[in-house]
Structure 1
């Protein structure tokens, strides 16, 4: 919008300069009488008045005003018929035509306007017809070419402006959708964190306290560990177990806690060369171990469980196996397994679940690392 106003301002300045210059030329034209010069000057001033009264607003709004243009061209024709030097006003009239009417109408108007002088010569100055006709032909061709080129440039500029606005609108929409997707992803992540840590911890505390012989000491220790997890979650840090040791030690503590809470033996076996992993991968593996062991404690009715942490040059594999009653994979998947799979996707990992009543359940998570 600001560029359009600037363009209109400079066009106003240009038209005023051309009009004043031609008015001076007309007033200085000695062959013409004083009255014709004054009328011609008044006609030129009328063109300027009409422009500022209504034409300027039409140009700003890109509105076609053929009636207004016809009045201005009539004043131009009057000035040229009275004083031929008024024809110099074509430098301002030709561009004005292309701003006031559509391209096809403008071409016709430019040719007709340039023909005013030679046509008036036929009746008033027969000796000047030939020379003014040649000038009119050259001026018409130049005016049509220049006006057409300017219109096309303006149209291309407007099209670019429209495309830029659409692009900015699209960027704003993409940014909005990205923010919404980020919010959704963060909610999902927090939901998974809460399910895998706080919810499981509270469940363990309730189970321990509701037992026929409540293990208060273990419940208190579990509550403290849950509090540490909550603080880590609020601070957006790694799980408390990982901040105080390696992944292997964190998984070993989970297995030991499982045995202590459930009475079911759960051994940990580590194969391959243990190495430090990116925090995101360690979090996924640790949460998977927590979820798998929690499911064994709640649902499997197992007599034994085993955890394997296998390091290979290209990946790390976590396997949690139990000899419990099993389930139908897919049919009984709850939030925990769904969250495990979602976490695995975040680090390009893959979760495999095998289960049947005779052999129990095996959950395997493999992550490239």
Structure 2
């Protein structure tokens, strides 16, 4: 059921099956009413006033069912409520009066017994049905004497009681199971709505984390390069104008690349470095740019065919290289960096090693870099390991193909 369906409509849909088939109970009641009414009116061995009185009381009962009882039953509520007891009393009293007029009116129990079980609690309904089944022989005892009453107190009464209780218990069980299923469906709908809400929240959180990682790995790093280049150009303005101009040229190129990355990020595209070539070519371009901006010596080796890698893995590996180079530039004070890409049949790995000052990988850090790399690795089922000490740092990422 759609989650955006209003609550009232959902309740209507849950009760639809019950209402769809309730016309069978209406038909059963109508058949019993007409049959018993004709039986009472067409008898020749009873006085006309008694027959008319019984038929009139049966008609009052039928009107009570149509105008009050039916509306009470089809509206879901707890059986045994005040309304249900009032409705049951409104049927029992006329039935007692009808039987005192004509004993054949007792056949109306075939219609009344199911209604008792639909309106009352099971124990209450059984008591009322048994009591109603005792009415015909008691009325016969009063009207016709002990001999006739004893005949009615035998098999006929037992059959009526057993039939009424068995049918009523069956009806009660079906109605209870229907209500339990309706409650279960409602709980499942609520659970589904909760799961949908949590999924939407998880999706929003994942998208925020993805955007944060993208911004950190592209725009933030680009702006860091811009600041570094502008500061370098500023320091060279009074001493070497050509070198300052070179720094500004690199800054302009970095700004243009950052702008392209921003547009690609907004459009949800792959990194622009991968959009114009393979992963191997993208890494080499990153290294060329790094060499132009820093005095650090960089070496790169690729083993295997990186062209066969899926784009999602290429993005993770490229971002790992970018973040590692940024950390080298900002923190390590290294003079040499070695990058190795290995593409195997079942996995691909990227290793970045520097000879810098190192750090404690287990110590909490405020930055997003390593955390972002680990999150990216986890998204593709990969594993990131960091080893660092006074002799330098090695960051290795392995992802399954």
Name the TM-score class by shorter chain. Answer: over 0.9
Cα drift, residue 62 of structure 1: 4.1
> 2: distance between equivalents of 1:265 and 1:179?
46
Q: Name 2:350's counterpart in structure 1.
A: 318
Residues 1:183 and 2:204 aligned together:
yes
Count of aligned positions: 368
Which stretch shows the higher mean deviation, 85-94 or 171-180? Answer: 85-94
Report the CA distance between 1:341 and its aligned residue.
Answer: 0.7
The reply to whether residue 342 of structure 1 matches residue 361 of structure 2 is: no
Segment of structure 1 superposing worse, 44-53 or 333-342: 44-53
The structure 1 residue matched to 2:394, chosen from 352, 362, 366, is 362
Residue of structure 1 aligned with 2:159, choices 138, 150, 161: 138
**Gaps (5+ residues) in structure 2?**
1-11, 237-243
> Helix, strand or coil: the match of 2:269?
coil
**Aligned partners of 1:84, 1:332: CA distance in 2, in Å?**
92
Return the match for 2:63 from 40, 43, 49: 49
- Equivalences for residues 179-218 of structure 1 within 5 A: 179-211=200-232, 212-213=235-236, 214=244, 215-218=247-250
- Of the three residues 311, 322, 333, the one matched with 1:301 is 333
Residue aligned with 2:308, SS: coil
Residues 1:69 and 2:102 aligned together: no
2:149 aligns with 129
Q: Distance in 2 between matches of 1:274 and 1:62?
A: 68
Q: Which residue of 2 aligns with 1:162?
A: 183
Cα pair 1:255 1:307 within 8 Å, conserved: no
Instruction: Give the superposition deviation at 1:190.
Output: 0.7
Look up the SS of the partner of 1:115 in the other structure. Answer: helix
How far, CA to CA, are the matches of 1:93 and 1:152 in structure 2? 17
Q: Please state how far the C-alpha of 1:293 moved relative to its aligned partner.
A: 0.4
CA separation in 2, counterparts of 1:274 and 1:319? 14
Which residue does the alignment assign to 2:271?
A: 239
How far the C-alpha of 1:12 sits from its partner, in A, is 4.1
How far is the alpha carbon of 1:278 from its aligned partner? 0.9
The question of whether the paired residues in 1 share the 8 Å contact of 2:79 and 2:121 is answered with no
Match of 1:148 among 169, 174, 178: 169
CA RMSD of aligned residues (A): 2.0
Query: 1:352 is matched with which residue?
Result: 385
Corresponding residue number in structure 1 for 2:361 = 329
Q: Show the counterpart of 1:277.
A: 309
Question: In structure 2, what is the equivalent of residue 92 of structure 1?
Answer: 111
> Does the 8 A contact of 2:32 with 2:111 survive in 1?
yes
**Distance of 1:71 and 1:363 partners within structure 2:** 84
Is contact 1:353–1:361 with CA below 8 Å preserved after alignment? yes
CA contact (8 A) 2:279 2:306 kept: no
Q: SS where residue 324 of structure 1 aligns?
A: coil
Aligned residue for 1:93, secondary structure, equals helix
Give the whole-Å Cα distance in 1 for the aligned partners of 2:204 and 2:134. 69
Provide the secondary structure at the position in 2 that maps to 1:238: coil
